[in-house]
Amino acid sequence: MGKISFFLKEAFGSLRRNYFMTIAALVTVFLSIVVLGGVLVFVYTTNALLKEVEQKVEITVFLKTDPDPTTDQVDAMQTKIMGWPEVKSSVFVSKEEALNRLKEDFKDNPEILQDLTGNPLPASFEISLKDPQTVSSVAERFKGDPVVDEVSYGKEIADKLFSFTSQARNFLLGFIVLLGIVAILLISNTIRLSIFARKREVEIMKLVGATNWFIRWPFVIEGVFVGFVGAAAATVVILILNSFLVGKIRNGLPFMAVPLDAVPYVLVVLMLLGVGVVIGAAGSGIGLRRFLKV
Amino acid sequence: MIRFEDVTKIYPPSTVGLEKVSLHIEKGEFVFLVGPSGSGKSTFIRLLIKELEPDRGRISVGGRDLATLRNWKVPYLRRNIGCVFQDFKLLTNKTAFQNVMYALVVTGQATGASKKKAAEILSLVGLGHKSNSYPNELSGGEQQRVSIARAFVNHPPLLIADEPTGNLDPETSMGIMQLLYRINKTGTTVLMATHDREMVDRMRRRVVALDVGKVVRDQKRGGYGED
Ligand SMILES: Nc1ncnc2c1ncn2[C@@H]1O[C@H](COP(=O)(O)OP(=O)(O)OP(=O)(O)O)[C@@H](O)[C@H]1O
Ligand SMILES: [Mg+2]
């Protein structure tokens, strides 16, 4: 009891006395956590966006036009498609509907469609999948079907997108790990610097019979305090910046539906605070080690 | 209490600190360590509290061999050796009172009784009125007395003082000597490194003289110089 209050007094006393070093350490923690948090939020958001884009991968199955398939054939096909477990939904687009859509697309310059006679457009099925990665294997099943003319699912685009997203994920993950290491080095170095300034003080404490832990505790408390405060400030900045940027994206790119729940905020906040505290405590503990050898 | 067997300490690259020093000091003795500047007095003391390791030889304090003493036990050794350092070694951001208290707090005593003890010992060295001053607000002699107070506040069985009267006027020196004398009378072993010829001559105690790291004289009731 008496000891704990002594340690707390020591810790906050020296935080105040060495205010310059305190500020330096705070700024280091703050900047590191801002960058770390920024990347984290970015990863979560892009991840959600990529998921969104992936969901948009669809298979379009064009049916033969000469002759057009009968209603029975269409119904049978729809039933067959819906029977596949990978399929989320399948919409039949008739020839007429296809033409309407075309007219709708070109309503601003109808002269393009002037020469169109009759309805040359094929009917089609638009299939969306539960797991976009299954797109190739599902598309494959239409090969050789007598009423199917052509299957299109943007093969290259889909494949490119998938390889890009998995690469992007790996890259960002690696980036976060790297950043974490850099932050730890930076912070423990700053703390070591502040401890170095108090080398003599630590030496004297040891010579009058203080144990290592007796000396260490106030330093660890200081580290935890600096880590927590720096991380808390960084977290606030991250959250404000995030909501500001999400707003900007919503206004600027309305077709990109930025999901509101993309970032698990509670988890991210706890993670950042935890990282701050652990880095602060470990930084002081490690930084102190070589001065305790008296 | 203290045994040095053939102890040699060389500071890199080749400065002699101590050379083949063998010395026994019994419990309850009062010993002066004399010798010119640079003769190895402080080196002797720093070896004693395991601030330094000898290059050769054995040192034991209170029956414990320092070479085999575990690192985590060193603080407990130091709590049993009150040490007045030549350069005082006061914590600059603590008041005189807090400096003395620190020696008690490290041993887990932060009670009202220990505060009283710290205040008393400060009065005893004549600094009752300066207990709230910081080291940089104290004169050299005053800092020295804080250092003495801190060394003795735990009533350690062994008290070492490196030039405890070096910065004091004759009158205050005499006061300090009398304090050490009284401390010694209570059974505490006292080892004092000094240049104070008059003091040594007057006390007529055991004198160990060092020169360039070697023991050149060890007299039961000696004076500062050769008789
Ligand atoms: N840390 C050190 N590194 C190198 N040499 C040292 C170191 N400390 C002391 N010495 C040398 O060791 C020798 C003995 O020094 P020591 O401090 O023991 O002398 P001393 O008897 O206490 O002198 P004084 O009366 O001036 O305090 C001296 O030659 C000194 O220069
Ligand atoms: Mg000396």
Nearest protein CA to atom 12 of ligand 1, as residue: B17
* Sequence-ordered alpha helix ranges (H) in A62-145: 71-83, 95-105, 135-140
Based on the domain organization, do A74 and A200 belong to the same domain? no
Tokens (6 digits) for B109: 């005593």
| A84-125 tens-digit pLDDT | 888 888 888 888 888 888 888 777 777 777 777 778 888 888
Mean pLDDT for A233-260 is 76
In short, whether B71's Cβ falls inside 6 Å of ligand 1 is: no
Based on the domain organization, do A108 and A242 belong to the same domain? no
> What is the identity of the amino acid at B215?
V
Instruction: Give me the sign of the Cα torsion angle A34, A37, A43, A45.
Output: negative
Based on the domain organization, do A29 and A90 belong to the same domain? no
> What is the identity of the amino acid at B23?
L
Q: Is the Cβ–Cβ distance between B158 and B188 less than 8 Å?
A: yes
Pairwise CA distance, residues B73 & A175, whole Å: 45
Q: Which residues surround ligand 2, an ion (CB under 5 A)?
A: B 41-42, 86
In short, whether B130's Cβ falls inside 6 Å of ligand 1 is: no
Q: What is the pLDDT of residue B54?
A: 94
> Residue A116's closest CA among A105, A132, A130, A129?
A105
Burial class (CB in 10 A: 0-12, 13-18, 19+), A55: middle
Chain centroid to CA A219: 35
Range of the domain at A134: 58-152
Higher-confidence residue: B51 or A190? B51
Pairwise CA distance, residues A247 & A262, whole Å: 14
Q: Which of A102, A124, A152 is the C-terminal boundary of a domain?
A: A152
In short, whether B76's Cβ falls inside 6 Å of ligand 1 is: no
Q: Which of A96, A118, A152 is the C-terminal boundary of a domain?
A: A152
Chain centroid to CA A95: 42
Strands, DSSP E only, in chain A?
Answer: 58-63, 87-93, 124-129, 148-152
**Using the beta-carbon criterion (under 8 Å), do B106 and A214 form an inter-chain contact?**
yes
Based on the domain organization, do A43 and A167 belong to the same domain? yes
Based on the domain organization, do A183 and A215 belong to the same domain? yes
Would you say residue B84 has pLDDT above 90? yes
Based on the domain organization, do A145 and A99 belong to the same domain? yes
Q: B102 to chain A: which residues are within 8 Å by CB?
A: 205, 208, 210
| pLDDT band (50, 70, 90) for residue A154 | low
DSSP A111: G
Based on the domain organization, do A73 and A95 belong to the same domain? yes
Pairwise CA distance, residues A235 & B14, whole Å: 56
Lowest-confidence segment of A65-79, A210-224, B5-19, B205-219 by average pLDDT: A65-79
CB atoms within 10 A of CB A78: 14
Q: Is the Cβ–Cβ distance between A282 and A222 less than 8 Å?
A: no
Domains in chain A, number? 2
Based on the domain organization, do A98 and A188 belong to the same domain? no
Radius of gyration of chain B (CA): 17
| B20-76 tens-digit pLDDT | 999 999 999 999 999 999 999 999 999 999 999 999 999 999 889 999 989 889 999
Would you say residue A256 has pLDDT above 60? no
Would you say residue A64 has pLDDT above 90? no
Contacts of B85 (CB under 8 A, 6+ apart): A207, B147, B162
Q: Which of A134, A152, A170 is the C-terminal boundary of a domain?
A: A152
C-alpha pair distances (Å), A209 with each of A250, B80, B95: 63, 9, 19
Strands B158-162 vs B56-61: parallel, antiparallel or unpaired: unpaired
CATH number at residue A120: 3.30.70.3040
Based on the domain organization, do A96 and A135 belong to the same domain? yes
Task: Please state the ipTM of this predicted complex.
Answer: 0.89
User: What are the phi and psi torsion angles at B193 (to 5°)?
Assistant: -85, 135
Tokens (6 digits) for A72: 């029975």
Q: What is the pLDDT of residue A261?
A: 63
- The interface residues of chain A toward chain B in range 179-238, judged by CB-CB distance below 8 A, are 201, 203-212, 214
Q: Does A294 touch chain B (CB under 8 A)?
A: yes
Higher-confidence residue: B75 or A4? B75
SS3 A58: strand
| pLDDT band (50, 70, 90) for residue B113 | confident
What's the A215 CA to ligand 1 centre distance in angstroms? 28
Instruction: Give me the sign of the Cα torsion angle A158, A163, A169, A175.
Output: negative
% of residues, chain B, pLDDT over 90: 64
Pairwise CA distance, residues A233 & A241, whole Å: 12
Q: Which domains does chain B have, with CATH numbers?
A: 1-80+159-227 (3.40.50.300), 92-155 (no CATH)
**Using the beta-carbon criterion (under 8 Å), do A209 and B107 form an inter-chain contact?**
yes
Q: What is the mean pLDDT of chain A?
A: 81
Contacts of A142 (CB under 8 A, 6+ apart): A61, A148, A151
Based on the domain organization, do A175 and A277 belong to the same domain? yes
pTM of the model: 0.73
Based on the domain organization, do A182 and A282 belong to the same domain? yes
Tokens (6 digits) for A101: 């859509």
Q: Does A256 touch chain B (CB under 8 A)?
A: no
Q: Is the Cβ–Cβ distance between B202 and B194 less than 8 Å?
A: no
Based on the domain organization, do A183 and A263 belong to the same domain? yes
**Using the beta-carbon criterion (under 8 Å), do B78 and A207 form an inter-chain contact?**
yes
Q: What is the mean pLDDT of chain B?
A: 90
> Residue A212's closest CA among A287, A277, A281, A291?
A291
What's the B36 CA to ligand 1 centre distance in angstroms? 11
% of residues, chain A, pLDDT over 70: 88
Distance from the B4 Cα atom to the nearest Cα atom in chain A, whole angstroms: 20
Mean pLDDT for A8-33 is 85
How long is chain A?
A: 294
Q: Is the Cβ–Cβ distance between B46 and B52 less than 8 Å?
A: yes
> Residue A224's closest CA among A8, A60, A2?
A8
Q: Is the Cβ–Cβ distance between A204 and B89 less than 8 Å?
A: yes
Strands, DSSP E only, in chain B?
Answer: 2-11, 15-25, 30-34, 56-61, 64-65, 81-84, 158-162, 189-193, 206-211, 214-219
**E strand or H helix at A6:** helix A2-17
Higher-confidence residue: A165 or B175? B175
**Using the beta-carbon criterion (under 8 Å), do B90 and A214 form an inter-chain contact?**
no
Tokens (6 digits) for B84: 């007045």
Q: First CA to last CA across chain B, in angstroms?
A: 28
